[in-house]
Chains A and B, each alone.
Chain A
């Protein structure tokens, strides 16, 4: 561990905190339909979109209509993206002449991008035409992100309303999120990336002669426009197979910092948006504090695990300490231009958000270093989670924390003036139940089948970690890959698609049902008998609840994967 390494971590989190308030306040204005500095330019566009789509902006929906709208919109997205991949060889903008994508892979990819997972069982530069990348994948990068934000807005509104039957209009929320938030930010970021060296071209791959005289194909394409939204929308699906480790996606340490900020900024700033919309910004800060403790804590753990290196190598007399001439620690699978601290930070926040972009190979991390991304996902993608989905997942944990804590102070538990009763607990229970069932169930299935076991590249507990990671990533709509596991097989493509589909939509339905039920409730005034939800004690309690629920679910599985691998490696 080096001072510079720690400084890089501190600077990242420091910059992140700076954007919370301005960005959060801006988003609150956007979703509240208030005037922003972009209104003069974008309001006419917005009106035009509504007129063309026949959307009545002032007409609100109840939770059932809202849910139907989300589901119908997403299903159409899956269908369109599937067809596009299947017929890409017949369509223009395919300079490399790629054939149609195989049905199981096309289905996996379609579900993956519509669910904001962006799990990739393919290599972008060798599978997808430019048209598919731009018209299919990039479009879903925007829309799946905006849909997640819309669901969150419905839930937040539910907390602010008193005996209301509606939670907002999905089409309006979807349009405003895309138009006012994702488009302008992506535009700015894409330009910055291009200026830093990220490619943006429709030209086919370049062929170069290497110094040894060999021939090298250098893949090119319209990358910058996709990379920007890939991070801003916590999508994470790379243009190139190597994702953010590829020099044409993430060329410099500065772009690395920018991309990390891009994928964390919105999920984190949404806590402020939440606080403003419910009329008490301290509630937002409290949730942010819980998220930050988890993010910073696990980043530090990941960094120290990676910087410590491999004891087996140390036993062989290899010097793994950092010095002016070497980074020290475990550099396997990491880019030299980033180094250990930014790679460990990237790994932690890409799994903490539902981004899943990678700038290093998690498979090559030390067992404990690789445990961190696994745990970040297994906590339920709430620290800070995906755009929208992270905060609505976190609010479910808050409800559970408030429920148990509220009982302990002798009152029917209430959060923001809304009583938590059987229906809310039922929905919250569904939400926390589905993820471990999907992840553990599919992992168990995979390790029991010969065909699925054949995909494992490493023997021993590491092989188990690979399978566990694959389903943890898809079951949490993260999309990052541990690598090492050959997932482009019908088994993994189909089970993966199932995992991603269930984890996205079977959580959205109870979340919106929760919104409907909360909106219909009275708002109880807050008194001294009410449990305060902004104190350090409550924040600590919330963190404990998140960790306990996650740990109880996954401790045995982790013990048989990274934990035992670490113990064996350490020679216990």
Chain B
């Protein structure tokens, strides 16, 4: 309890600091040059400056309206600008805090630079100590247990466990080794065991950590196409209202002349009207929405290398998912022993168990487990024993033989993939019996993987390895289907196996016997039809397809080429993350759309508040339009301005959290959001302005 309380206190303190800094930044952002990036809020700032000047003039006694009124309007106009700045600063704040934490890990370290590659893969002993900032691409360095990796790179020699929590936040150590798909290491992480020789892949200042810092800070944030399109729409609304308000002055002068009474509309009221009409709600929150969207990705441990990719994620029509790790659990499991000829199941199980005892792969272990479960076969002593005086000699799996097994006591047990084993038997002069072939076929057809076991080159039977489809995927895929997204499973399996798994998992389509070439071809084909394709990958052979895909997520554990080809990196290396990324992309657009609708719908009420008030002295009859029965012209205009400023603050949480996305069709989403933000936007200001008006009167402020 105590600990929890303390933690909360720390968190509150952190949050307080975040807010304090955001308030500070809100003032710093008032610089006109910065404000120019946001045309809507720039207009508000210019308006505020104008009314400030009018207020000073009113204080000297020559003003167009009482000084208190101009002063109050001016104050709230400045608040409008500051609230918008505050929302942006708050959105940036979290990223900045994270960037600071990252910067701390990017301390300058000493690198053990090597002159050349070590011979025979032995740990090198001769190195020179150099500052990490002096390491350049293609340099080699050595890291040992306890060292911090001085730069990004690719493991050339060795295997070691690495603590990557500085980058991923994940405290469990990960294995990094040369070759294969787990060879990339990141500067700033710490080696926990063993040693590695690494080739530098990025010059100082351009490493992964550096890129990440600038991304989370939002320093290099550029507007995305969609944001630009919306900006144009908002700017054009602003121009229209500028014209509306500017022409209102001559209209008013003419009306005063023709009505023969009243005073023309004041500049203060015109500025107030303008600020109320231009879409300040969405204009003020637009950049916060974008930053918060990126931030939501970072919280899910995904680094988006471009905002464009996040938006594209919302548009994705086709998801290419790797079978292994995404759709199925990473490993296949033995589920059956199927003997052939006169062999009993027990004999087969015994042989299979023996062949797998030293096999540390998940498949191998699952065979031992199955043998124990089904036939109560225990593990045996591997070294010399009374039973096998010469001990067992294990043959590990190798790329050349493509099989594994065990030799003992003139016995040769082998297991391997069917085509390898059939070829192996053929060379030994044995032919495969027909029932073996039909068994192999049956297993493959059901989506399983057959392993043939032989005893002295005579087939005993087949082990049925099965892919285990992850739970809950079917539901996920049908959810995606409802969102209009097609799922395609990519696998190296043969078409039969692939079809069976695809059917079990509920994907829409599959690509079997995938190669880098046909993956690329598939993506291009979808894109040619005008579809947007997303995929995940980790291996080097995924790199071309990742580069071609519109949204490409690389696993952080993946190889350097894969990480470079992708436009997002998943630090947790969780392949199903893609689905969440799609949702975040959609949320981003939805939040913008919802707030735009809300902002424009607000204008109706503001017109009804301000127009009767602005012309009260010329045409008192327009008071009929004052549905809200606002007390005085001054209170009406002030209430509208105050509402306009406060609504920005009220909507900051929504802008930061995003409009919730539900996987329903577009029609229903549209209807729901239109009801909430369209109708809500129409009604809310009527209530809000009236309430503020009542409050102003009750407090005798007007």
Contacts and interface: CB of A to CB of B under 8 A. Distances in A.
Interface in A409-440: 409-412, 417, 420-422, 424-426, 428-430, 432-433, 436-437, 440
Contact of A461 (B241, B252, B255): B255
Given A422-B229, A559-B611, A559-B615, A432 B236 contact: yes
Interface in A457-484: 459-461, 463-464
A234 to B, nearest CB: 26
B667 interface: yes
A532 B673 contact: no
Interface in B673-697: 673-674, 677-678
B93 interface: no
Interface string B277-288: 100000000000
B315 A407 contact: no
A408 B225 contact: no
Contacts of B670: 405, 408-409, 531, 537-538, 541
Contacts of A162: 530
A460 B259 contact: yes
Contact of A440 (B247, B594, B600): B247
Contact of B592 (A407, A425, A433, A441): A407
A408 B254 contact: no
Contacts of B440: none
Residue with the highest number of chain A CB atoms closer than 10 Å, among B229, B243, B671 = B229
Contacts of B603: 548, 552
A408 B593 contact: yes
B247 A444 contact: yes
A426 B232 contact: yes
A3 B277 CA distance: 42
Contacts of A409: 586, 590, 593, 666, 669-670, 673
A202 interface: no
B245 to A, nearest CB: 8
A187 to B, nearest CB: 44
Contacts of B586: 409-411
Contacts of A522: 530
A429 B39 CA distance: 15
Contacts of A400: 233
B448 interface: no
Given A408-B593, A409-B673, A464 B254 contact: yes
A464 B258 contact: yes
Contact of B674 (A412, A541, A551, A560): A541
A459 to B, nearest CB: 6
A404 interface: yes
A433 B597 contact: no
A432 B615 CA distance: 27
B250 A447 contact: yes
A560 B240 contact: no
Nearest to B255: A560
A318 interface: no
Contacts of A460: 258-259
Contacts of B667: 531-532, 535, 537
Given A411-B315, A441-B243, A553-B240, A564 B666 contact: no
A453 B258 CA distance: 11
Residue with the highest number of chain A CB atoms closer than 10 Å, among B251, B600, B671 = B251
A313 interface: no
B593 A436 contact: no
B477 interface: no
Contacts of A525: 317, 529-531
A184 B19 CA distance: 73
A515 B311 CA distance: 25
Interface string A97-117: 000000000000000000000
A232 interface: no
Contact of A424 (B229, B315, B665): B229
Contacts of B233: 400, 403-404, 425, 428-429
B236 A527 contact: no
A17 B243 CA distance: 39
A464 B530 contact: no
Contacts of B673: 408-409
B607 interface: yes
Nearest to A541: B674
Contact of A528 (B237, B484, B607, B671): B484
A405 B669 CA distance: 10
Contacts of A444: 246-247, 249-251
Nearest to B608: A555
B241 A411 contact: no
Contacts of B484: 527-530
Residue with the highest number of chain A CB atoms closer than 10 Å, among B252, B485, B670 = B670
Nearest to B486: A527
B244 A556 contact: yes
B273 to A, nearest CB: 8
A421 B588 CA distance: 16
Contacts of A430: 236
Interface stretch (B151-159, B171-179, B370-378, B617-625): B617-625
Interface residues of A, number: 68
A524 interface: yes
B202 interface: no
Contact of B236 (A429, A440, A463, A563): A429
Nearest to B601: A548
B117 to A, nearest CB: 48
Interface string B244-275: 10111111111100110000000000000000
B601 to A, nearest CB: 8
B254 A448 contact: yes
A448 B253 contact: yes
Given A433-B236, A463-B258, A527-B317, A560 B621 contact: no
A402 B251 CA distance: 34
B587 interface: yes
Residue with the highest number of chain B CB atoms closer than 10 Å, among A162, A537, A556 = A556
B482 interface: yes
A443 interface: yes
B621 A572 contact: yes
Nearest to B667: A532
A91 interface: no
Contacts of A407: 226, 230, 589-590, 592-594, 596
B661 interface: yes
Nearest to A456: B258
A557 interface: yes
A406 interface: yes
A535 B674 CA distance: 14
B166 interface: no
Contact of A404 (B481, B597, B615, B624): B597
A523 interface: yes
Interface in B620-634: 621-625
Residue with the highest number of chain A CB atoms closer than 10 Å, among B230, B484, B593, B624 = B593
A293 interface: no
A459 B625 CA distance: 23
B522 interface: no
A541 B670 CA distance: 10
B235 interface: yes
A110 B221 CA distance: 52
B587 to A, nearest CB: 7
Given A403-B233, A405-B670, A529 B589 contact: no
29 contacts: A404-B593, A405-B670, A408-B597, A408-B670, A409-B593, A409-B669, A409-B673, A411-B314, A412-B226, A421-B226, A422-B232, A425-B230, A429-B232, A433-B236, A436-B240, A440-B247, A441-B247, A444-B246, A461-B258, A463-B258, A464-B254, A528-B483, A528-B665, A530-B484, A532-B666, A548-B604, A552-B244, A556-B607, A563-B625
Q: What 10 A-B pairs are tightest by C-beta distance, nearest first? A: A529-B484, A407-B593, A410-B586, A429-B236, A408-B593, A527-B484, A444-B247, A447-B254, A567-B621, A524-B530
Given A404-B596, A408-B590, A443-B251, 10 more contacts: A404-B593, A424-B229, A440-B244, A441-B247, A464-B254, A525-B529, A529-B484, A537-B667, A552-B237, A556-B607
